[in-house]
Structure 1
Amino acid sequence: MRIALVITSLGVGGAERLVTDLADRYAADGHQVLLVRFHGEAELRPCDPRVRLENLDMRRSPLGVLAAMCRFRRFIRAFRPDVVNSHLVHANILTRLLRLVTSMPWLVSSAHNTNEEGRGRMWAYRLTDRLADISTNVSDEAVAVFEQQGAVKPGRMLAIHNGIDTGAFAFDPVARAHVRSELGLEESTPLLLAMGRLWEQKDYPNLLHALAGLGAGPVPPTLVIVGDGPLRDELGARADSLGVADRVRFLGVRHDVPALMSACDLFVLSSAWEGFGLVVAEAMACERPVVATDCGGVREVVGGAGFLAPPRDAQALTEAMKRALYLPDEQRQRLGTAARDRVVARYSLDAMAEKYLAVYRGTDGRDEE
């Protein structure tokens, strides 16, 4: 099968990791794969050299968009895909519009969130819905939200949970020791890890307030935040004003995510909204206790193998973090084992790739559950 995967960019994010993982998996299985991004450097990229990687280098101007769409059309016409699967809102809408002038035997649009940040984007989804053969989203709740807001008609969007490579994401004591040594942390120092773009969705101010609520204690916990984004300076100033700047480290973009997961004692997701919460599943696969805000599909991921707190409630987040940090060792170990078992059973990369393939073949992905 000739598969064209299309995404807005290849920065460091959950959707981007999913798409590059899919590209590698399908290339390894003998499919021909084209991966197209609209702009930006490829901070993440497929490992398999058989994946053809293209950048449309789209500029933010009418002529820049037109030039990128012309390049996009040439790539699709030359590759002659059996299926095109676009991911994220800008790629979804632009790929649908391209179908007005370019033949695509089967088009799948994949959203990755409950909140597309504005009515305009939901209207764009609604107005172009008929141009896609089927759409997907990353959780049952995300699908329900799209239907409730009229972005898709009922039955036109399927839930396909994100999948992770449970071989790569597994607890590694050697990696744990290496990262903690790099950070200058004793084994007795509790390490909290948060990961994701520094922007409104992840609600890092909520996390910083929750950290301040923990207090220093006999051994002050250290919070490491991995990622970059427009709120970096603002968050640094917020940490300073809360008196926790000496306990917070901003590491920027990192590519050793499984090692960082292994190094932490608690993974925290403080988001105001999510589609799925891929990093939560990755932490669970590494047998880490997780505390997460109850938004989007996060509850579906965590089940009974972690702790949930309401979004935008720093006090509740603090209490959940306390419960997780002070678990007895035996309970912590049991929780970690249960978390990994849940991810392996429900959210493996193999299962996700097969569900997407079923949709590519024109069958209902729900039949594969």
Structure 2
Amino acid sequence: MKVLLTITSLGVGGAERLVTGLADHFAAAGHEVVLVRFHGDAELSPTDVRVRLENLQMRRSLLGVLAAMVRFRRLVRSFRPDVVNSHLVHANILTRLLRLVTPMPRLISSAHNTNEEGRGRMRAYRLTDRLANISTNVSAEAVGAFEQQGALRPGRMVAIHNGIDTAAFTFDPAARERVRTELNLDEAAPLLLAVGRLWEPKDYPNLLRAFAGLEGGPVPPQLAIVGDGPLRGELEAMAGSLGVADRVHFLGVRHDVPALMAASDVFVLASAWEGFGLVVAEAMACGRVVVATDCGGVREVVGDAGFLVPPRNAEALAKAMGRALRLSDDEHERLGVAARERVLARFSLDVMADRYLAVYRDDDLSDQQQLQGTK
């Protein structure tokens, strides 16, 4: 099968990790794969050299968009894919519009959230919905949110849970020791970890308030935050005003996330909204105890293998973080093992890729429960 994957950009994010992982998986399975981004440098990219990587170099102007669409049309006509699968809102809408003038045997639009941040974007989804054969989203909760917001008609979107490379995301004691040495932490220092872009959906102010309200033990807990974004300066200032700047480590963009997860004792997601919570599944695959806000599809990921609290509730988040840190060694290990087993059974890259291929082939689309996996 000839597969053309499109995505808005290849920055460091959950959707980008998913798409590059899919590209690698499809290439390894013998499919011919082209991965197209609309603009920007490739901070993430496939590891399989058989994946052809293209950049449309779209500029933020009408002429820039039109020039990129002309390049996109030439690429599609030259490659002649069997299926086109677009990811993220801008790529979804622009790829749909290209289908008005460029034949595509089958087009799948993949969203990655419950909230696309604006009525205009949901209206664009609704107006172009007929141009896609089917759409996907990362959880049953996210599918319901799109339907409720009128982005498409019921039955026009199916849920495919995100999948991760469980061989890459696993607990590594050597990595734990190396990272904790880098952070000047001995084994007795409790370390909480958060990973994600520093922007509004992730609600880092909620996390910092919760961390500041966390009851300290004999050794004060530390917090490492991995990622960058427009709110970094504001968040660093907030950590200072809360009196926790000396215990909060802003690490910026890192490419050793599995090692950082191994170094942590508790993984925390404080998001106001999510589509799926890929990073939560990655932490669970590493055997970490997870504390997360109950938003989007996060409940579908965590199940009974972690702690869930309401979004935007710093007090509840602090209490759950404290409970997680006070677990005995046996309880910590039991919950970590259960978390990894849950990911292996439901959220592996193999399971996800098979579900995408079923949608590409138009297999069993009436059986949404099969595509969604067991809740």
Q: Report the TM range for the smaller structure's normalisation.
A: over 0.9
What SS class does the counterpart of residue 341 from structure 1 fall into? helix
Q: Deviations over 1:66-112 (max 9, x none)?
A: 11111111111111000000000000000000000111000000000
Q: Look up the equivalent residue of 1:50 and give its one-letter code.
A: R
Q: Look up the equivalent residue of 1:292 and give its one-letter code.
A: A
Provide the residue aligned with 1:21 in structure 2: 21
Provide the residue aligned with 1:332 in structure 2: 332
Q: Deviations over 1:217-236 (max 9, x none)?
A: 32111100000100010000
Cα distance in 1 for partners of 2:316, 2:344 equals 29
Provide the residue aligned with 1:219 in structure 2: 219
> Root-mean-square deviation (CA), in Å?
0.8
Provide the residue aligned with 2:316 in structure 1: 316
Q: CA deviation at 1:363?
A: 1.7
Cα distance in 2 for partners of 1:118, 1:171 equals 39
The answer to whether the Cα contact below 8 Å between 2:215 and 2:322 also exists between their aligned partners in 1 is no
What SS class does the counterpart of residue 337 from structure 2 fall into? helix
Q: Look up the equivalent residue of 1:347 and give its one-letter code.
A: F
Provide the residue aligned with 1:207 in structure 2: 207
Cα distance in 2 for partners of 1:249, 1:332 equals 24
Provide the residue aligned with 2:239 in structure 1: 239
What SS class does the counterpart of residue 165 from structure 1 fall into? coil
Q: CA deviation at 1:364?
A: 3.2
- 1:91 corresponds to 2:88: no
Q: CA deviation at 1:215?
A: 4.0
What SS class does the counterpart of residue 213 from structure 2 fall into? helix
Cα distance in 2 for partners of 1:238, 1:26 equals 44
Q: Look up the equivalent residue of 1:188 and give its one-letter code.
A: A
Q: CA deviation at 1:182?
A: 1.0
The answer to whether the Cα contact below 8 Å between 2:163 and 2:351 also exists between their aligned partners in 1 is yes
Cα distance in 1 for partners of 2:82, 2:201 equals 35
TM-score by length of 1: 0.99
- 1:258 corresponds to 2:262: no
What SS class does the counterpart of residue 355 from structure 1 fall into? helix
Cα distance in 2 for partners of 1:351, 1:169 equals 16
Provide the residue aligned with 2:128 in structure 1: 128
Provide the residue aligned with 1:347 in structure 2: 347
Q: Deviations over 1:162-212 (max 9, x none)?
A: 000111111110111111111111000011100000000000000000000
Cα distance in 1 for partners of 2:229, 2:287 equals 28
What SS class does the counterpart of residue 186 from structure 1 fall into? coil
- 1:185 corresponds to 2:193: no
Q: Deviations over 1:41-60 (max 9, x none)?
A: 10000000010000011110
Q: Look up the equivalent residue of 1:171 and give its one-letter code.
A: F
Provide the residue aligned with 2:160 in structure 1: 160
Cα distance in 2 for partners of 1:25, 1:200 equals 32
Provide the residue aligned with 2:361 in structure 1: 361
TM-score by length of 2: 0.97
Provide the residue aligned with 2:57 in structure 1: 57
Q: Look up the equivalent residue of 1:106 and give its one-letter code.
A: R
Provide the residue aligned with 1:137 in structure 2: 137
Q: Look up the equivalent residue of 1:99 and give its one-letter code.
A: R
What SS class does the counterpart of residue 49 from structure 2 fall into? coil
Q: CA deviation at 1:319?
A: 0.4
Q: How many residues align?
A: 369
What SS class does the counterpart of residue 351 from structure 1 fall into? helix
Q: Look up the equivalent residue of 1:253 and give its one-letter code.
A: V
Provide the residue aligned with 1:110 in structure 2: 110
What SS class does the counterpart of residue 122 from structure 2 fall into? helix
Q: CA deviation at 1:362?
A: 1.4
Structure 1 outlier segments of 4+, above 4 Å:
none
Q: CA deviation at 1:216?
A: 3.9
Extract unaligned runs of 5+ from structure 2. Answer: none
